[in-house]
Amino acid sequence: MSGVVPVATHDPRPLVFITGASSGIGQALAARFHRAGWRLALAARRTAEIESWARASRLGADSYAIYSADVTDIASIVAAGEACIARQGLPDAVIANAGISIGMDTADRGDLDVLAQTFATNNIGMAATFHPFVAGMVARGSGRLVGIGSVAGIRGLPGHGAYCASKAGAIAYCESLRGELRPHGVQVVTLCPGYIDTPLTRQNRYGMPFLMAPDAFADKAFAAIEAGVSYRVIPWQMGVVAKLLRLLPNPLFDRLLTGRARKPRRPGASTPSS
């Protein structure tokens, strides 16, 4: 656990630390928390995009700080968390939002690297994001760690092996962490988005039912985090769909997905095996 000691702060506004804050869901969450009066600690590789957004949004200089971090580099994201504690204090909420989604074909040797990259970002990156804050939150007896999972983590989809497996792992990890930290007053919230209109989903070649705008997702997510729920699918309709898919017998599930378009793979990848 981190040995960083939170600095004293007299600012009564709560603080949220968000990774992947340069675009998409992360940026929408930052905007929603800011509207609610929270201070922001925003982490991403593309810090110039965050700074540009902050200026366009007319954020006050005392309402946010930006941290350069790559969640696939454990030392980098841990250092960003420690810098947040030293500069702004111990956050009230930490949102591990950074993630990637790339299609894969196990028959392609290069896609094993895609799998490794996906797990490094979506799983190791999530744990490394939480790490610097756990000891301080436990000592304080309060805090919320928010993991962004996905409906795709509820059941595996053809061509989505890396993403589905990583998000299933994220959901299970958050559930384990919730049991560990609950006795210490620290809440763990798992949010599973359905299809949200972001750069990550606009490349998809298949239908996306109940597609949701990022701002609408952020409103629902903010309410869930404020309420301290343990698990929520957003939008709720995708939660119903996911539960029905989970209940389908394997032969019926397999037939239902026959011929479904696959998630785009890395540039230059060969056609997926069938």
Distance from C-alpha of 215 to C-alpha of 271, rounded to nearest angstrom: 35
Here the tokens at position 254 are: 């397999």
**Distance between CA atoms of residues 230 and 190, nearest Å:** 6
Max Cα-Cα span within the chain: 60
By annotation, the residues acting in catalysis are 163
Q: Is the Cα dihedral 249, 255, 261, 264 positive or negative? A: positive
Q: Which of 76, 143, 129 is nearest to 99 (CA)?
A: 129
Q: What are the C-alpha distances in Å from 163 to residues 34, 61, 66, 217, 242?
A: 30, 37, 28, 20, 16
Beta-sheet pairing, 93-96 with 144-148 = parallel
Q: Cα(164)–Cα(97) distance, rounded to whole angstroms?
A: 16
DSSP 124: I
Q: Tell me the HSE value of 238 on the side-chain side, using a 13 A CA sphere.
A: 22
- Asked if 34 contacts 56 with a C-beta cutoff of 8 angstroms, the reply is no
Rounded distance between C-alpha atoms, residue 239 and residue 242, angstroms:
5
Compute the distance between CA of residue 99 and CA of residue 77 in angstroms, rounded to an integer.
14
Question: Are 122 and 96 spatial neighbours (Cβ–Cβ below 8 Å)?
Answer: no
